[in-house]
Amino acid sequence: MKNIYSNIYSFNKKILKKTVNYLKQGNIAGLPTETVYGLGGNAYSKRAIKKIFKLKKRPNNNPLIIHYYSIKNAQKDVILNNNFLKLYKKFCPGPLTFVLKKNKKTRIDSLATAKLNTVAIRFPKHKVVRKLLKLIDFPLAMPSANRSSYLSPINANDVYKEFKNKLNIIINGGKSKVGIESTVVDLTEKPRILRPGIISYNDIKKFLKIELSVKKTKIRSPGMLKKHYSPGIPVVIGGKPRSNNHAYIFFGKKHIKKRNYFNLSKKSDLKEAASNLYKTMRKIKEQGYKKIFVAKIPNFGPGIAINDRLTRASK
């Protein structure tokens, strides 16, 4: 992808150094990760955290995920446990976020964790953000780089369209491969999925060899808030387009060639469908359609995450 805006930079040593200094001063930057693009800032700096919440118009009760290079760095801020160590070994770095108890000595700003006594942590895999994390001596608080309640961005231009020149640095790291947000698993008690993702309920259950809790409690993960992930036009699950300005999202081998029909995966691959979901919704909105109808998506593996996002987008 060419950089068509002056605040979007290709990745090289020069921009790496510039971004490190910029973050050290308590500023925030648009950064690529393998899930979606993020707005990164020093998790220990109140100034940086305030900027993130303000720019996103994010409610103060929605805590941020804190990103680390390795366990060694995370230990200062959270209390590790056995389930964490097992899952870390298998899935990290990668698209999995862990909710753990806060270490009392932590320096994470209290606004970043919405004053909770837990912290959500992740070890992203994308090479750009890993190189950055290796060079700084603080973790990055990094929510998705979009205005609160809208679709997450999956490339640098998407980030630009959300915030225009309110960001001085957006690093272009190509298309986010996973394309939807990380799986969030709460490990503070019996493991429980708070937000489904590409690493599925069954992946985690199989690997830990224990049943996961499906207990519904008060909102602990505001990604669980009802309205979220909205493309900015109505989304209807079930039913078919009834006019030229309605679009249809479907999935699988059926070859339907119509201008307003969008296939998430011709191979019927749910992982591929997840990675195309936001891209497709953005494209539909940009092409001027006024409403999106969605076919039934198989509800297993990554399909659970797709249906979760679509259901919320339809609220």
Q: Is 5 helix (H, G, I), strand (E, B) or coil?
A: coil
Which region, judged by CB under 6 A, interacts with ligand AMP, from 61-69, 74-82, 168-176, 258-266?
61-69
List Cβ neighbours of 125 (8 Å cut-off, separation of 6 or more).
Answer: 33, 34, 93, 94, 95
List Cβ neighbours of 308 (8 Å cut-off, separation of 6 or more).
Answer: 195, 196
Sketch the per residue contact string, 172 through 211, with ligand AMP: x for CB under 6 A, - otherwise: ---------x--x---------xx----------------
* 55 in contact with ligand AMP (CB under 6 A): no
Question: What is the DSSP track for 61-80?
Answer: TSPPEEE-SSHHHHTTTEE-
* 120 in contact with ligand AMP (CB under 6 A): yes
Number of chain positions touching ligand AMP (CB under 6 A) = 20
CB 61 within 8 A of CB 124: no
Nearest residue (CB) to ligand AMP, 99 versus 270: 99
Cα dihedral: 272, 276, 277, 281 (round 10): -160
Tokens of 202: 């069954």
Amino acid residing at 21:
N
* 144 in contact with ligand AMP (CB under 6 A): yes
Binding residue for Mg ion, selected from 83, 106, 144, 230, defined by CB under 5 A? 144
- Residue 75 CB, nearest approach to ligand AMP (Å): 17
- 158 makes contact, choosing from Mg ion, ligand AMP, none, with CB < 5 to 8 Å by partner type, with none
- Residue 134 CB, nearest approach to ligand AMP (Å): 22
Question: Could you list the residues that contact Mg ion (CB under 5 A)?
Answer: 144
